[in-house]
């Protein structure tokens, strides 16, 4: 019996010690220099990134960053220079016409981009932007389910937008919302189509961040080169933008609207104003964008590789026009006798200087054919460098509906798959970064097999905002952060 009492007493003392240890641990956890528990940090991260539609990190490590986010700005115009001043002035001249938009599914933000006000009345205004805003990530041919669009105005106010029209082939959308007197439409119509004269002109890409409403701008030039996106009508600029600039305007040095930009790491591709005007006209008149089916994949002759230019130059030294890159078998172009490697110099009586002029002319012919219920026929002048011959060909094209939401299966089979890739937001860790020799940026350690994991930051509050985790595309080589391997 006494032994039992002694055991009970000993147990009670242990419980008292355990309580003291818990209190001591809790007291130490409140110290500023103590690291936060990993589960608390994970919870904070989940609350921060999930509403933005970003992935939750699988592991937590020092130096990790979210890359390819919508919060990443472009166009560092700090300081003073003549070029920066002109870019700022151009951006300020359009600032009352530039908004940012976001698509939500429930409370989760799915996509954000920039938009341009193209029409403004006393009661409503129309905003031109990218159809990537409404595109489902699971199926790119479908619209986002349970879509809700919010528009961030230049003054920071948030309003609800309503989708009016969209086209997935050209990746454009028009969103309507209520009008505000302090805003106005951009000088969009009655502009000169982008052509070869702009090749040496300075261009400016403009965008706006959705969360902060910050206005951005960066400069560049026009390049006549084939875009990596599967849309022949796109032109390419050297403007270095980010995902936040998708759907924003590209303007010339004179402030004229040149086109709507998309995102690529090498430079911003954009849909020229001449094609945009045709699409908007088709929206108003036909409710959809008419797409001519001719079976030609073309490019501007001056943008082709040197070996191609040499082949053409040997037979036709002064040739100008568009180069036929591919002819789809069984298409109207194939039936007309046109082959890959040919050069088209004229459409009817119009001399061509670049591919965009061809696309603009053919869209106009599709419009006239649908309006009058006639066939779509046009004659082209063709040069064949392989034989040194020149001839005329008549293409009996068809008019199809390029909008995925209205296309029949027959028309879908005729049209090439169009993809508008947007880089996914992901977590990047220090050992993901490589040096010039494609080797990880790591330090060597004398003890083989030892892996150094840096301690977590002591201040949990810094993780309550994404500002310290997003927007960093590159890492600084810091030995205390990099993983140590043998």
CATH number of the domain residue 319 falls in = 2.30.42.10
Are both 331 and 232 inside the same structural domain? no
| 187 burial type by CB count under 10 A (0-12 exposed, 13-18 middle, 19+ buried) | middle
Domain boundary among 248, 276, 304: 276
> What pairs with residue 300 in β-bridges?
322
Cβ neighbours of residue 66 under 8 Å, at least 6 residues apart? 49, 54, 425, 426, 427, 428, 466, 469, 470, 471, 472
Whole-angstrom CA distances from 366 to 207, 289, 348, 363, 405 are 33, 10, 14, 5, 19
Are both 455 and 364 inside the same structural domain? no
Residue 384 lies in a domain: yes
Report whether 154 contacts 96 (CB < 8 A): yes
Are both 265 and 324 inside the same structural domain? no
Q: C-alpha 478: how far from its chain's center?
A: 31
Closest CA to 254 of 86, 426, 34: 86
- Does this model's pTM top 0.85? My answer is no
Residue 214 lies in a domain: yes
Number of structural domains (the chain) is 3
Residue 362 lies in a domain: yes
Residue 474 lies in a domain: yes
Report whether 445 contacts 452 (CB < 8 A): yes
Q: How high is the pLDDT of residue 56?
A: 86
Cβ neighbours of residue 91 under 8 Å, at least 6 residues apart? 204, 206, 215, 216, 217
Domain boundary among 276, 304, 334: 276
Whole-angstrom CA distances from 426 to 49, 202, 217 are 11, 33, 25
Are both 350 and 247 inside the same structural domain? no
Backbone angles phi, psi at 56, to 5 degrees: -85, 135
Q: How high is the pLDDT of residue 328?
A: 92
> Domain with 229 in it: what CATH number?
2.40.10.120
Are both 376 and 483 inside the same structural domain? no
Specify whether the backbone of 254 is left (phi greater than 0), alpha (psi in -120 to 50) or beta.
alpha
Report whether 355 contacts 343 (CB < 8 A): no
Are both 308 and 271 inside the same structural domain? no
DSSP notation for 433-461: -B-TTS-B--EE-SSTT----PPPPS-GG
What tens digit of pLDDT does each residue of 146-157 get? 899 999 999 999
Percent helix, percent strand, percent coil in the chain, to nearest 5:
30, 30, 45
Q: How high is the pLDDT of residue 218?
A: 95
Alpha-carbon distance of 85 to 99, in angstroms, equals 22
Are both 294 and 271 inside the same structural domain? no
DSSP notation for 455-469: PPPS-GGGGGSGGGT
Domain boundary among 276, 298, 328: 276
Are both 86 and 61 inside the same structural domain? no
Residue 173 is encoded by which pair of tokens?
């959308």
Are both 161 and 306 inside the same structural domain? no
Q: How high is the pLDDT of residue 139?
A: 80
Are both 381 and 454 inside the same structural domain? no
Residue 259 lies in a domain: yes
Q: For each successive 10 residues of the chain (486 residues), what is the average pLDDT?
A: 44 48 49 52 80 86 84 86 90 95 94 95 95 88 90 95 93 96 80 46 92 94 78 88 95 88 91 91 91 89 90 92 92 94 94 89 90 88 93 91 46 50 85 59 45 45 48 39 34
Which residue range forms the structural domain that includes residue 208? 82-276
Residue 131 lies in a domain: yes
Residue 462 lies in a domain: yes
Are both 353 and 249 inside the same structural domain? no
Residue 416 lies in a domain: no
Alpha-carbon distance of 164 to 42, in angstroms, equals 40
Q: How high is the pLDDT of residue 19?
A: 53
Are both 376 and 312 inside the same structural domain? yes
| 375 burial type by CB count under 10 A (0-12 exposed, 13-18 middle, 19+ buried) | exposed
């Amino acid at each position: 019996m006494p032994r039992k009492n002694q055991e009970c007493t000993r147990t009670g003392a242990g419980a008292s010690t355990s309580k003291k240890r818990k209190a001591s641990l809790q007291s130490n956890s409140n110290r500023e220099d103590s690291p936060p528990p990993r589960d608390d940090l994970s919870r904070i991260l989940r609350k921060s990134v999930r509403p933005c539609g970003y992935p939750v990190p699988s592991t937590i490590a020092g130096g990790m960053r979210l890359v390819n986010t919508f919060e990443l700005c472009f166009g560092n115009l700090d300081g003073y220079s003549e070029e920066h001043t002109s870019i700022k002035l151009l951006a300020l001249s359009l600032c009352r016409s530039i908004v940012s938009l976001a698509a939500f599914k429930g409370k989760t933000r799915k996509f954000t981009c920039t938009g341009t006000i193209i029409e403004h009345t006393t009661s409503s205004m129309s905003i031109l932007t990218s159809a990537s805003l409404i595109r489902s990530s699971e199926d790119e041919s479908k619209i986002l389910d349970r879509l809700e669009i919010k528009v961030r105005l230049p003054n920071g106010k948030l309003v609800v937008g309503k989708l009016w029209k969209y086209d997935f082939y050209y990746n454009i959308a028009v969103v309507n919302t209520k009008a505000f007197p302090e805003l106005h439409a951009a000088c969009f119509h009655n502009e000169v189509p982008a052509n070869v004269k702009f090749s040496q002109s300075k261009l400016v890409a403009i965008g706006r961040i959705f969360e902060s409403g910050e206005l951005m701008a960066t400069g560049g030039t026009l390049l006549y080169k084939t875009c990596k996106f599967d849309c022949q009508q796109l032109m390419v600029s050297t403007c270095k933008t980010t995902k936040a600039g998708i759907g924003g305007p590209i303007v010339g040095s004179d402030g004229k609207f040149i086109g709507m930009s998309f995102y690529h790491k090498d430079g911003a591709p954009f849909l020229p104003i001449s094609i945009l005007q045709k699409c908007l006209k088709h929206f108003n008149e036909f409710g959809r964008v008419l797409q001519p089916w001719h079976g030609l994949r073309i490019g501007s002759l001056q943008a082709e590789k040197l070996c191609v230019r040499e082949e053409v130059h040997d037979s036709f030294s002064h040739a100008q026009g568009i180069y036929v890159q591919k002819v789809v078998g069984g298409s109207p172009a194939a039936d007309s006798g046109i082959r890959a490697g040919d050069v088209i110099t004229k459409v009817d009586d119009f001399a061509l200087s670049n591919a965009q002029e061809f696309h603009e002319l053919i869209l106009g012919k599709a419009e006239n054919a649908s309006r009058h219920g006639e066939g779509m026929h046009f004659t082209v002048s063709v040069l064949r460098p392989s034989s040194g011959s020149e001839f005329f060909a008549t293409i009996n094209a068809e008019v199809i509906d390029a909008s995925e939401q209205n296309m029949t299966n027959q028309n879908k089979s005729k049209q090439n798959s169009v993809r508008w890739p947007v880089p996914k937001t992901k977590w990047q860790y220090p050992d993901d970064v490589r040096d010039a020799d494609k080797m990880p940026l790591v330090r060597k350690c004398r003890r083989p097999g030892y892996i150094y994991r840096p301690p977590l930051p002591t201040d949990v509050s810094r993780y309550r905002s994404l500002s310290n985790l997003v927007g960093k595309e590159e890492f600084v080589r810091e030995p205390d952060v990099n993983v140590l391997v043998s």
